[in-house]
Chains A and B, each alone.
Chain A
């Protein structure tokens, strides 16, 4: 069975600090996909990134970067120079890519990030 663990329940930082959100996953599949979503106070989940298990290249998008390491089953998310607008709950999710279950997203419990001015 697939599982996603986000061990950090809450993180509080001061604006302009860098912050890393951890995500550890478990799966028996060799083909799988990892996602990060942002949930601002309004409630809607906003898609941030999707990576497949064959692509371990790190990715950078503006102030956001992701570090995917299969050896440690981790897909960590770093925000550089955090801003108040980054305050939200961030979810990591996993979808297996084989069989009939590739519809299923398994979510972690989320990390509440608060960026203080």
Chain B
């Protein structure tokens, strides 16, 4: 089955700790994205990557870091510098065909800072 997997589904972290959220896709998509969703809000873009070893900041990149060492993987690290990290994090991927292509989403990771 082709798709996007995110792990873990729920994650708890103590203040001051870094934590890494996993995102893997087997759709052979070129681009991958990380979004943050807060209650009652739409999604906001954190980082995106269109090619291996390259990524760009989105609207709310402060306090987050990413890597793209493999086409199928795009992990997100929430650092201790992120002031309000409790949120629902969604990973997405899309092909790149010269125009805005449909982004397909994973099941999400719910992060809670204790």
- Chain A residues at the B interface, C-beta cutoff of 8 Å: 4, 9, 32-33, 35, 37, 42-47, 50, 91, 93, 95-97, 102-105, 107-110
Residues of B within 8 A of A9 (CB): 40
CB of B43 within 8 Å of the partner chain: yes
**Are A91 and B100 neighbours in the complex by a CB distance under 8 Å?**
no
What residue of chain B has the Cβ atom nearest to residue A45's Cβ? B105
* B49 smallest CB distance to A (angstroms): 10
**Are B31 and A103 neighbours in the complex by a CB distance under 8 Å?**
yes
Roughly how many angstroms separate A40 CA and B48 CA in the complex, as a whole number? 24
- Chain B residues at the A interface, C-beta cutoff of 8 Å: 31, 33, 40-45, 48, 50, 58, 88, 90, 92, 99-100, 102-108, 110
Contact of A43 among B48, B50, B88 (CB under 8 A): B88
User: Main SS of chain B's interface residues?
Assistant: strand
Residues of B within 8 A of A45 (CB): 43, 90, 92, 105
Given contacts A43-B88, A91-B42, A91-B43, A105 and B108 within 8 Å (CB-CB): no
**Are A110 and B42 neighbours in the complex by a CB distance under 8 Å?**
yes
Residues of B within 8 A of A109 (CB): 40-42
**Are A102 and B100 neighbours in the complex by a CB distance under 8 Å?**
yes
Contact of B107 among A42, A91, A97 (CB under 8 A): A42
Contact of B102 among A50, A102, A108 (CB under 8 A): A50
* A3 smallest CB distance to B (angstroms): 11
Residues of A within 8 A of B50 (CB): 103
Question: What are some 22 contacts across the A-B interface (CB < 8 A)?
Answer: A9-B40, A32-B100, A33-B100, A43-B108, A43-B110, A44-B90, A45-B90, A47-B102, A47-B104, A47-B105, A50-B102, A91-B42, A95-B100, A102-B99, A102-B100, A103-B33, A103-B50, A104-B58, A107-B42, A107-B43, A107-B44, A110-B42
